[in-house]
Structure formats: structure tokens, C-alpha cells
């Protein structure tokens, strides 16, 4: 998938160092609220996707993919720095880590997220991906503002035990063990990051704990989506966008 155009927006692969640098600037603005560049060692080994406004060329959304042949390679992933993922070593099919997803903080058009998912779907189909995974981030490191969301994750969306990540990071919030409350479902969905919300609508699952990431000023949960488990109606919608 090189280009995907729908209405006002185009999604494309990064083709130059300047493209990658532009994603690093947008990431820093989105994650830290200031000018700068968010860069790490994974940028060099990942495929970067840009979603831009057709008329102006303005970068509105970006993310990156790290393709892996199967679970035996998962310890190469960014997520493996924070989660003990040995249970996924036996996952046999091709997988892709989705990382550094962000949308420009000044832009609210939901079509941008739809465009991003269309680009993801095209990539997944083109490469025969069977598992899409990554870290889904909540802004800030104060878990108390997200208790309803974490309770819904505990009640409805925990990973199957055979894939469930174990604790590795030094600071975590063990929401599956600690929370004993009835959630406000509406508030939970409002507090859920948009990317994670879409994962869950398609049958995605999460770790039983959140990592407290002071460097990125986030709380994040490991998130997995088995492609074969996506409901057929959802797949049809995604492929309509990707087509």
C-alpha cells in the first residue's frame, strides 16, 4: 500500500528522511505538547505511515509498523521493553506492531482516524498479517482519572490467558487485581483513547495491567487484535475504506 486517497485526505508510506522527520515532529507535539522531535532506535527499522490533507500537504496523523515473521520474534518489538511477552512466542502467523500512533492535537475530524484504519487494513491484507499489536496510551500517569475505563477493560476485554502478557516494567497499575467497582460505561468510553476504542470494537484485547511511562507521560496497556477474530461486518467496513 503506497497511496490511499479518500476525500480530503491521503495516506502514504514515508519515502524520505524528511517524511520520517515530519512524523517525529508531530509525535513530539502530540505526546509532549511542545516543539521538538520524538525519535528512537525503532524508527530506523519501521515502516512509517503518514495521513495528510490533500490540498495543503499538512501532516495530520502518523504511525509506524514493525513487521515480525511470528511470535518467536516478538522480543524485538518496542512493546517487549515494557511487557513480558513469552506467552506470545507460540503465535505462528505473521504479526505487526503498531506504534507511535498520533493525530494532530488541533484536528478533530473522525475521518482522519477512519483513514488511518483504512491504511492499516490495506497493509494487513497486503502482508497477510494475523496479529496486530502495540501499546495503547492514556494521556498522563494518574490512573484515577481512568478508573471507569480500566474497569471496563477488566470486565470485558482482557487477553485470553494463553496470550496474556506478564508484568515486566518497574511501575505498573494492576487494574485487573485492584479495581472492585461498577463502571460508568458511558464515561469509560469517553475516557478511552480513540485508537483503543476501535481496537475493542473489532474484538481486540488488552493486558491485565497498565504501564506507567513517565518518559512519554502516559499509561499504556498492551493491546492485541487477532485478524481472524474481527467480525465479518467490521472487516467489510474497513476494507471499504481501504479499497
**CATH code, domain with 194:** 3.40.630.30
Beta strand 131-139 with 95-103 is parallel
What does the pLDDT read at residue 87? 98
Q: Which domain holds residue 129?
A: 3-242
Buried b / exposed e over 26-45, threshold 16 CB at 10 Å, is bbbbbbeeeeeebbeebbee
Split into its structural domains, the chain has a count of 1
What does the pLDDT read at residue 242? 65
- The residue ranges of the chain whose pLDDT is under 70 are 1-2, 241-243
Q: What angle do CA 77, 29, 193 make, to 5 degrees?
A: 60
What does the pLDDT read at residue 233? 85
**Helix (H), strand (E), coil (C) string for the chain:** CCEEEECCEEEEECCCHHHHHHHHHHHHHHHHCCCCCCCCHHHHHCEEEEEEECCCCCEEEEEEEEEECCHHHHHHCCHHHCEECHHHHHCCCCEEEEEEEEECCCCCCHHHHHHHHHHHHHHHHHHCCCEEEEEEEEECCCHHHHHHHHHHHHHHCECCCCCCCEECCCCEECHHHHCCCCCCHHHHHHHCCHHHHHHHHCCCEECCCEEEECCCCEEEEEEEEEHHHCCHHHHHHHHHHHC
From residue 202, give the alpha-carbon distance in Å to each of 19, 30, 141, 238: 30, 25, 27, 10
Q: Please tell me the pTM assigned to this model.
A: 0.93
What does the pLDDT read at residue 235? 80
What does the pLDDT read at residue 1? 47
Q: What is the largest CA-CA distance in the chain?
A: 50
Q: What Rg do the C-alpha atoms of the chain give, in angstroms?
A: 17
Amino acid at each position: 500500500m503506497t497511496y490511499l486517497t479518500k476525500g480530503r485526505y491521503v495516506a502514504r508510506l514515508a519515502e524520505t528522511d524528511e517524511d520520517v522527520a515530519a512524523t517525529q515532529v508531530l509525535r513530539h507535539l502530540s505526546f509532549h505538547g511542545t516543539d521538538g522531535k520524538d525519535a528512537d532506535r525503532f524508527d530506523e527499522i519501521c515502516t512509517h505511515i503518514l495521513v495528510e490533507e490533500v490540498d495543503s500537504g499538512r501532516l495530520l496523523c502518523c504511525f509506524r509498523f514493525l513487521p515480525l515473521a511470528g511470535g518467536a520474534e516478538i522480543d524485538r518489538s518496542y512493546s517487549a521493553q515494557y511487557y513480558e511477552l513469552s506467552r506470545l512466542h507460540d503465535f505462528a502467523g505473521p504479526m505487526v506492531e503498531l506504534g507511535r500512533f498520533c493525530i494532530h492535537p488541533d484536528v478533530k475530524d473522525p475521518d482522519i482516524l477512519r483513514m488511518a484504519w483504512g491504511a492499516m487494513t490495506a497493509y494487513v491484507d497486503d502482508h497477510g498479517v494475523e496479529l496486530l499489536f502495540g501499546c495503547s496510551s492514556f494521556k498522563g500517569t494518574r490512573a484515577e482519572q481512568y478508573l471507569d475505563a480500566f474497569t471496563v477493560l477488566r470486565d470485558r476485554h482482557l487477553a485470553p490467558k494463553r496470550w496474556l502478557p506478564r508484568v515486566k516494567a518497574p511501575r505498573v497499575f494492576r487494574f485487573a487485581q485492584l479495581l472492585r467497582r461498577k463502571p460508568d460505561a458511558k464515561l469509560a468510553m469517553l475516557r478511552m483513547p480513540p485508537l483503543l476504542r476501535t481496537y475493542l470494537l473489532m474484538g481486540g484485547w488488552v493486558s491485565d495491567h497498565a504501564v506507567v511511562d513517565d518518559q512519554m507521560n502516559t499509561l499504556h496497556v498492551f493491546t492485541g487484535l487477532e485478524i481472524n477474530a474481527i467480525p465479518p461486518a467490521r472487516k467489510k467496513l474497513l476494507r471499504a475504506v481501504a479499497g
